[in-house]
Amino acid sequence: MHVREILEVSADFESHVGKQLEVNHTDMQAMEHLVMHGNLSPTELARRLGMSTAAVTTVVDRLVAIGHATREPHPTDRRGVVIVPNPASVERAMAAIMPMFMGIDRVLDEFSPEEQETVTRYLARVLEVYRAQLE
């Protein structure tokens, strides 16, 4: 099947977008979470990345230094901060990934509703297998 190849190309694409944003692999993963989920506390970002909060501090320092994020006061915890993605960086990231998403949508449109349902069921099962391995 082509799932393995899709995973490999997906990693290559992520690296390509990272180069466009001028970030390394770890910083790109952090950017993905910020772009997709918005403001995150350092603790939540660390949890999502599977890193220590100390390591995430270094990642955030790099993102702040190149203008991809800022540290802002936490809205409900005056002792805390949240990491806020720079809107211009979000726009750059979306400009890099949207053509790929739109291309995938065009491919899906080539299939009948029944075929789309089969593809959807297959991919849902693949996701279940992946998630089961994370438990």
Which of the four pLDDT bands, split at 50, 70 and 90, describes residue 89? very high
Which pLDDT score, from 0 to 100, does residue 91 have?
A: 95
Tell me the residue type at 41: S
Q: For the domain that residue 81 is a member of, what is the CATH number?
A: 1.10.10.10
Buried b vs exposed e over 75-89: b needs ≥16 C-beta within 10 Å? eeeeeeebbebbeeb
Q: Is the pLDDT of residue 42 over 80?
A: yes
Residue bearing the bigger pLDDT, 67 or 3: 67
* % pLDDT > 90, the chain: 92
Q: What confidence tens digit (pLDDT) does each residue in 45-84 have?
A: 999 999 999 999 999 999 999 999 999 999 998 899 999 9
Q: Is the pLDDT of residue 1 over 80?
A: no
Q: What confidence tens digit (pLDDT) does each residue in 104-128 have?
A: 999 999 999 999 999 999 999 999 9
Q: Is the pLDDT of residue 95 over 80?
A: yes
Domain that holds residue 83: 3-134
Which of the four pLDDT bands, split at 50, 70 and 90, describes residue 34? very high
Q: Please state the domain count of the chain.
A: 1
Rounded Cα–Cα distance for residues 63 and 57 (Å): 10
Which pLDDT score, from 0 to 100, does residue 134 have?
A: 87
- Give Cα 120 distance to the centre of its chain: 21
Rounded Cα–Cα distance for residues 114 and 4 (Å): 24
33: three-class secondary structure by DSSP: helix
